[in-house]
């Protein structure tokens, strides 16, 4: 198959296919006139590449995985994949925790302007992300990084 046919059937642009070729993810044969000629197994390989990318795996890891598929048993390939996928889950959990923390800080910051009293005075940049306390009539800083969103205070670690 020519590159245009592979592109049409796989949904992957010709530019991406050339890029994959340049880093060794796919290896087309060359026709006598110099055109790239892909065999049917290329489509399966591209499916695996795209599925791996959707899992967030970097192309370098995908390349190593594809190389092992060509020489290792299914059991070996599976055992090689496990730590790679576990690391990806760990990275996502870490990112999710950072996003949850950011969300809590944004939620607290979003309450600040709404809770500040109306004033005809010029708005202070110090006040914008502060929280107004009706009991004391004062503004306070937004929650600390890593703070409990309910209290705004950082959790104390026990010795």
Examine the domain organization and report whether 10 and 65 are in the same domain: yes
Examine the domain organization and report whether 36 and 66 are in the same domain: yes
The 3-class SS string of 80-141 reads HHHHHHHHHHHHHHHHHHHHHHHHHHHHHHHHHHHHCCCCCCCCCHHHHCCEEECCCCEEEC
Confidence at residue 68, expressed as pLDDT on a 0 to 100 scale: 86
The stretch 69-86 carries a mean pLDDT of: 88
The stretch 93-121 carries a mean pLDDT of: 81
Share above pLDDT 90 across residues of the chain, in percent, rounded to a whole number: 48
Separation CA 117–CA 97 (nearest Å) = 33
Domain range for 42: 3-71
More confident of the two residues 152 and 42: 42
This prediction has a pTM of 0.62
Examine the domain organization and report whether 87 and 144 are in the same domain: yes
The total number of structural domains that make up the chain: 2
Question: 92 pLDDT exceeds 80?
Answer: yes
């Amino acid at each position: 198959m020519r590159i245009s046919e592979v592109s049409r059937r796989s949904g992957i642009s010709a530019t991406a296919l050339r890029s994959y070729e340049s880093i060794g993810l796919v290896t087309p044969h060359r026709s006598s006139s110099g055109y790239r000629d892909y065999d049917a197994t290329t489509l399966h390989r591209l499916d695996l590449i795209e599925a791996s990318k959707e899992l967030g795996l970097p192309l370098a890891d995908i390349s190593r995985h594809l190389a092992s598929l060509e020489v290792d048993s299914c059991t070996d390939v599976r055992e090689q994949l496990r730590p790679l996928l576990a690391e990806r889950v760990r990275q996502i959990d870490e990112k999710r925790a950072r996003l949850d923390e950011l969300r809590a800080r944004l939620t607290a910051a979003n309450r600040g302007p709404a809770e500040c009293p109306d004033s005809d005075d010029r708005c202070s940049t110090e006040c914008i992300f502060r929280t107004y306390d009706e009991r004391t009539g004062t503004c306070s800083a937004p929650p600390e990084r890593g703070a409990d969103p309910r209290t705004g205070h950082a959790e104390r670690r026990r010795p």
